[in-house]
């Protein structure tokens, strides 16, 4: 498992391109070249946005908050295709 951490200033929901909303997170991920149909984003509380990307040969999951982002890449789940977390655990 690979963990990638980045650190930025402290942007807020400002509408300046530095906001952390599901829409802006999706736009950034698709802007990196991930196909929109392979990107899932969701709100996790007031200030956290989570994401799951089914990329070629790997799954990428992570969160963004106003002052940082975290992503982890892994090869998927052995008991299923895709990157969705199995119901009831795995």
47 closest CA partner among 12, 71, 8: 12
User: Domain with 26 in it: what CATH number?
Assistant: 3.30.160
In tens, the pLDDT along 56-77 reads: 889 999 998 888 889 999 998 8
Does position 79 have pLDDT exceeding 90, yes or no?
A: no
pLDDT score, position 44: 85
Any domain includes 67 = yes
Distance of CA 51 to the CA centre of its chain: 3
Count of domains forming the chain: 1
Name residue, tokens 């498992």. Answer: 1
pLDDT score, position 47: 83
Domain around 12: 2-74
């Amino acid at each position: 498992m690979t963990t990638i951490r980045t650190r930025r200033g402290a942007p807020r929901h400002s509408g300046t391109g530095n906001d952390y909303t599901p829409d802006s997170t999706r736009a950034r991920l698709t802007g990196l070249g991930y196909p929109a149909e392979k990107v899932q984003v969701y709100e996790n509380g007031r200030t956290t946005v989570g994401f799951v990307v089914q990329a070629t040969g790997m799954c990428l999951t992570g969160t963004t908050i106003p002052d940082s982002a975290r992503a982890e890449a892994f090869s998927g789940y052995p008991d299923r295709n895709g990157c969705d977390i199995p119901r009831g655990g795995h």
